Chain A
């Protein structure tokens, strides 16, 4: 016998299910009398410093079908690379957004500011990125990934550098399609499967 560890095990995840929107973005389901406004409507307010970008995409399953019931959350730093709550962070950036795949088309849209580079604990920096968390019916534990930008310097990013199969790096990089416009698809399974993270 040994002494007992006093640490606890994390509560197990379960799928958010098909009605995750009721709990997280109720107005999406027509429930508008409970909260005046959904949480996480926008990660920025008017006047946020930096380049405004719009990222559109789909969450695609192993058959090539775009999910119509996915719910996504994003978390990011401001244009200077400061996270909300850090001293000097842009008060117009709350950094958090909830957005859903469209019920009819499966397309999602995230409008935000492009984040700055952020520091690593032991030196060096991370390339600008937005953390994304995806939940849906059939996803047993929320999937984490990141959106990087193809027009930024991603070469020295420590996370991207850990991806052994270099052709998979592109699954984390949003493609520029116009001024301030990017495309980022999330592929859950199969050809071009997105690199999902365990950090």
Chain B
């Protein structure tokens, strides 16, 4: 079924490729302009994943590394929200993946040799699929802030990486969620690659006491917007094609 072309990406919503303060971006940013044209079937289709791929603990990072045998250390939080498209319609049945550092700010990765210890009960990734109304949720621990080699004393604010598919390969998005009130957000050169303050604010999840559970976990709400399709009855055949 033809859902129509994807709405052209508003590049002002996103960070530019080149940013001198994020040093790794300097040699990894294309210099020539992107080639723009209307989306084709190659961008308007995409992989789909059924609930059958999900294991029992996939969206619970507190227990998924041990498959329920042990609990991860840290401040217990629920991260929940909704995936929508630019037309404000929910994106149902789409895969959402997250990954993050442990409560001390350490990733379970051979390249991460920060002093903070690994947590034997924490792996650091999870996934889920949005429901029919686009809602998703994870249970996890709040990741720690950590230093990273960039300028002489740069620290990452607490953050959770998000990967979202949508239903079209052209909707593919990776981003990061930050936490309300973290003073490191305004010092972070990666957060600062986003030049629009209002756009950066959209990555900062508010504390959501109504979504929390007494004596168990706090909640943070994080909604995500993917590209949408152009909706019109007037898809005229272009002259000469």
Give the B-binding residues of A (Cβ under 8 A): 6-24, 26, 29-31, 33-36, 39-40, 61-63, 65, 67, 69, 73, 75-77, 83-86, 94-96, 118-124, 126, 129, 131, 133, 135-144, 146, 158-159, 162-163, 168, 188-190, 193-199
Q: Are B28 and A10 in contact (CB under 8 A)?
A: no
Give the A-binding residues of B (Cβ under 8 A): 2, 5-6, 8-11, 13-17, 19, 22-32, 34-43, 45-49, 53, 55, 57-58, 64-67, 84-88, 95, 97-99, 107-112, 123-127, 161, 163, 169-170, 172-176, 190-191, 193-194, 196, 199-200, 202-203, 224-228, 235, 237-238, 241
Nearest-neighbor residue (CB-CB) of A75 within chain B: B169
Known: A7-B86, A8-B87. 14 other contacts (CB 8 A): A10-B9, A14-B193, A19-B161, A23-B98, A29-B110, A33-B66, A34-B57, A35-B127, A39-B49, A75-B47, A83-B42, A138-B23, A140-B25, A199-B36
- Bound CA span A174–B161, Å: 32
Q: Measured between C-beta atoms, what is the minimum distance from B119 to chain A in Å?
A: 13
Please list 18 pairs of residues, one from A and one from B, whose beta carbons are closer than 8 Å in the complex, sorted by A's number.
A11-B175, A11-B203, A11-B224, A12-B175, A14-B193, A19-B112, A29-B108, A33-B65, A62-B26, A75-B169, A118-B42, A121-B41, A123-B237, A126-B41, A138-B29, A193-B30, A199-B42, A199-B170
A6 is contacted by which of B24, B26, B88, B194 (Cβ under 8 Å)? B88
By a CB distance below 8 angstroms, the chain B residues around A135 are 174
Interface contacts (Cβ under 8 Å), in number, total: 276
By a CB distance below 8 angstroms, the chain B residues around A36 are 55
Given A22-B124, A31-B123, A124-B241, are A10 and B42 also a contact pair (CB < 8 Å)? no
Given A33-B66, A123-B241, A140-B15, are A188 and B28 also a contact pair (CB < 8 Å)? yes
Q: Are B14 and A23 in contact (CB under 8 A)?
A: no
Given A34-B126, A122-B237, A197-B34, are A133 and B99 also a contact pair (CB < 8 Å)? no
Given A31-B108, A122-B241, are A163 and B35 also a contact pair (CB < 8 Å)? yes
- Bound CA span A85–B2, Å: 12
By a CB distance below 8 angstroms, the chain B residues around A162 are 35, 37
Nearest-neighbor residue (CB-CB) of A71 within chain B: B174
Q: Measured between C-beta atoms, what is the minimum distance from B24 to chain A in Å?
A: 3
Q: Are B125 and A23 in contact (CB under 8 A)?
A: yes
**Would you list the 3 A-B pairs with minimal beta carbon distance, nearest first?**
A23-B99, A138-B24, A96-B47
- Bound CA span A94–B47, Å: 7
By a CB distance below 8 angstroms, the chain B residues around A84 are 45, 47-48
Q: Are B24 and A137 in contact (CB under 8 A)?
A: yes
By a CB distance below 8 angstroms, the chain B residues around A139 are 17, 25, 28-29
